[in-house]
A and B are shown apart, each in its own frame.
Chain A
Amino acid sequence: VQLVESGGGVIQPGGSLRLSCAASGFSVSRNYITWVRQAPGKGLEWVSVIYGGGDTYYADSVKGRFTVSRDNSKNTLYLQMNSLRAEDTATYHCARDLIIGQSRTGAFDIWGQGTMVTVSS
């Protein structure tokens, strides 16, 4: 059971980037998958979530600029990031919500290693 992110890099302000999160050992379509980012030397910030049913939610800081999507056939999620700003510089992790029975615990039990995004001119 694992998540592997890819797609990070150096991008100029205002640019776009698409991150991928490939899952193995479980189905992304039956789980809640969250994106969390961590700026260099800083704490953790929730970015977005996609529900098993496809609903998506975003932090105010990225709403209107970031879009989460999913390809069930590839068991992969995507984070499309547009209009990137310097403050979006961070390592982006995808993580799986821990479900106990039918209940979301609100905790994240499986994390990817992350992919680094640097927004700089």
Chain B
Amino acid sequence: DIVMTQSPDSLAVSLGERATINCKSSQSVLYSSNNKNLLAWYQQKPGQPPKLLIYWASIRQSGVPDRFGGSGSGTDFTLTISSLQAEDVAVYYCQQFYTTPIFGQGTKVEIK
């Protein structure tokens, strides 16, 4: 089974500063048939379901602020929040779809 490992487990960032979350897959999630990385990012706030932010590793879902960006390919991926806002406090998950869906363990983002 593919293992998804996020780092760090938590981070505290000052308002307006950049937050970076990493996600590493134990095997490549690049699907050769369409040359897409089958990797998504979600934001989950307490008491709410996850919200899709990014799919295909770098495509922002409709309505998601452009301060959220995804990058990476193969086995290493990054979610960047370019200028942290108070409403971005949440747990963030990566998820691969190369095999049956597997989520990372989550990264908690707080305000410093």
Report which A residues bind B (CB closer than 8 A): 34, 36, 43-46, 57, 59, 93, 95, 98, 103-109, 111-114
Contact = CB atoms under 8 A, between A and B. Distances in A.
A120 B101 CA distance: 28
A109 B52 contact: yes
Interface string B63-99: 0000000000000000000000000000001011110
Nearest to A5: B49
B55 to A, nearest CB: 4
Contacts of B105: 43
Interface of B: 34, 36, 38-40, 42, 48-52, 55-56, 61, 93, 95-98, 100-106
B103 A43 contact: yes
CB-based closest 3 A-B pairs: A106-B97, A107-B40, A111-B49
Given A43-B93, A44-B93, A103-B34, A108 B103 contact: no
Contacts of B98: 106
Contacts of A109: 52, 55, 61
A43 B3 CA distance: 14
Given A43-B106, A93-B50, 6 more contacts: A43-B103, A105-B38, A106-B97, A108-B42, A109-B55, A109-B61
A109 B42 CA distance: 10
Nearest to B40: A107
Contacts of A57: 100
B49 A114 contact: yes
B52 A98 contact: yes
A107 B100 contact: no
Nearest to B1: A60
A105 B50 contact: no
A24 to B, nearest CB: 16
A96 to B, nearest CB: 10
B103 A105 contact: no
